[in-house]
Amino acid sequence: MPSGNFNYLSDSGPPIPGIIGSSPAMQDVYRLTRRVARSNASVLLLGETGTGKEMIATAIHRLSDRGSGPFVKVNCGALSESLLESELFGHVRGSFTGAIDNRTGRFEAAHTGTIFLDEINSTTLHLQIKLLRVLQEREFERVGDTKTVRVDTRVIAASNRDLTNEVESERFREDLYWRLNVVPIDIPPLRDRREDVPELVAHFLNYYSELNERFVVHIQREAMEALQAHHWPGNVRELQNYVERAVVMADTDELTLDLLPLSVTGSEKPPSGSRIRGADVETLTYEVVQQGLATAGPEEDSLHTKIVSRVERELIAQVMIACSNVQTKAAAKLGINRNTLHKKLKEYDIES
């Protein structure tokens, strides 16, 4: 969500900068954010991609006694293990190929302030051991060094996965989970606070109209109804993307239904933004099976292929929306290379 002069909504406490929404679900988030900001406790932000976890982390830092100190953000899912270790803890010259100079890590850079570790669930077990030590002892060594560095840095972490499941699957250390999960804050998905959609749309209309020197200040009733009815797998980030596109493409001062993608307005094709859950997969599989049984001959073996293809299309479409149509990022999340993703997008006729 872009920064700017927003309308702030609060109860009895100070305003929450940069966050829009007056729904009961968000009011609970505001109250907890203000309360935890006054402490030095570690915070674990939980929520789907695009719900605004970084905005809440920023608010906690700014409302805290550390607000005048540095606020350092690290996306743990964007770097390999070796690069992330160097990024977090720094390194000394000659510690590995390419280490031509000493480098200060993000934990040092955040001294007296806050470090925000996004996608903490992406870290390896090896790196989790070092993170646990920082949380417990407030000290570490740079990569390739024996000198211990002590820091006073508050940790806010975020995950778009259920870390209890990751712990049970032995992909995440239980002791680190409890160190991070001192105060958990669940950020609700947009589909659970649809009453905030009009306010968010109004903000994004104003923001992108000004940014693009346009004057799209109204929204058609049918368009708003479609936006409020949408499931929002990409959450606020998806809404932001659609409003920006509509502002750029509009010929008048009104956002109309035809400016919205088919995933919002509805079509005969499976909606490109639908989130695949267990029940959805069962329904989807049942539909394809029925189609296959109705058309397949006794020697045909294409039923499995039809099921896999349709589910694959839905998954790729969902990930593309979650990644704001950035193919490189979507390919990484899907575990395939960009060329393969490009072929799949063409094959399934998915907008990119």
> Can you give the CATH number for the domain in which 312 is found?
1.10.10
pLDDT of residue 281: 44
pLDDT of residue 322: 77
Q: Are 41 and 160 contained in the same domain?
A: yes
The stretches of the chain forming alpha helices (DSSP H) are 24-37, 53-63, 81-89, 106-109, 125-137, 163-168, 174-180, 197-211, 221-229, 235-249, 262-265, 278-295, 303-322, 327-334, 338-347
pLDDT of residue 307: 66
Q: Are 210 and 240 contained in the same domain?
A: yes
Q: Are 243 and 310 contained in the same domain?
A: no
Whose CA is closest to 317, among 259, 268, 276, 266? 276
Range of the domain at 261: 194-265
322 within 8 A of 50, measured Cβ to Cβ:
yes
Whose CA is closest to 118, among 186, 21, 28, 52? 52
What SS3 state is found at 115?
A: strand
C-alpha to C-alpha distance for 94 and 115, rounded to whole angstroms: 27
Q: Are 229 and 165 contained in the same domain?
A: no
Backbone conformation region of residue 18, classed left if phi is above 0, alpha if psi is from -120 to 50, else beta: left
Q: Per the domain annotation, does 261 fall within a domain?
A: yes
Q: Are 44 and 168 contained in the same domain?
A: yes
pTM, entire model: 0.70
Q: Are 95 and 36 contained in the same domain?
A: yes
Instruction: Name the token pair of 140.
Output: 């570490």
Q: Are 51 and 78 contained in the same domain?
A: yes
pLDDT of residue 319: 82
Q: Per the domain annotation, does 181 fall within a domain?
A: yes
Q: Are 261 and 283 contained in the same domain?
A: no
C-alpha to C-alpha distance for 16 and 1, rounded to whole angstroms: 14
pLDDT of residue 309: 74
Out of 208, 238, 265, pick the residue that ends a domain: 265
CA angle 261, 263, 265 (to 5 degrees): 70
Pairing of strands 254-255, 218-219: parallel
Q: Per the domain annotation, does 6 fall within a domain?
A: no
pLDDT of residue 337: 74
Tell me whether residue 17 is exposed, middle or buried, using C-beta atoms within 10 angstroms of its C-beta: 0 to 12, 13 to 18, 19 or more.
middle
pLDDT of residue 26: 93
Residues in the chain, pLDDT under 70? 1-15, 17, 91, 93-100, 267-308, 335, 352
Out of 188, 209, 230, pick the residue that ends a domain: 188
Q: Are 86 and 125 contained in the same domain?
A: yes
Q: Are 175 and 216 contained in the same domain?
A: no
pLDDT of residue 288: 46
C-alpha to C-alpha distance for 132 and 138, rounded to whole angstroms: 9
Helix axes 197-211, 235-249, angle to 10 degrees: 50
Q: Per the domain annotation, does 273 fall within a domain?
A: no
* Domain total in the chain: 3
pLDDT of residue 148: 87
CATH of residue 65's domain is: 3.40.50.300
Whose CA is closest to 124, among 71, 54, 176? 176
Q: Are 244 and 202 contained in the same domain?
A: yes
- High-pLDDT (> 90) share of the chain, %: 56
Q: Are 31 and 102 contained in the same domain?
A: yes
Q: Per the domain annotation, does 14 fall within a domain?
A: no
pLDDT of residue 14: 41
CATH of residue 210's domain is: 1.10.8.60
Out of 188, 214, 245, pick the residue that ends a domain: 188
Q: Per the domain annotation, does 317 fall within a domain?
A: yes
Which amino acid belongs to residue 34?
Answer: R
pLDDT of residue 295: 46
Q: Per the domain annotation, does 154 fall within a domain?
A: yes
Whose CA is closest to 74, among 91, 52, 57, 51? 57
Q: Per the domain annotation, does 19 fall within a domain?
A: no
Phi, psi (rounded to 5 degrees) for 89 = -110, -5
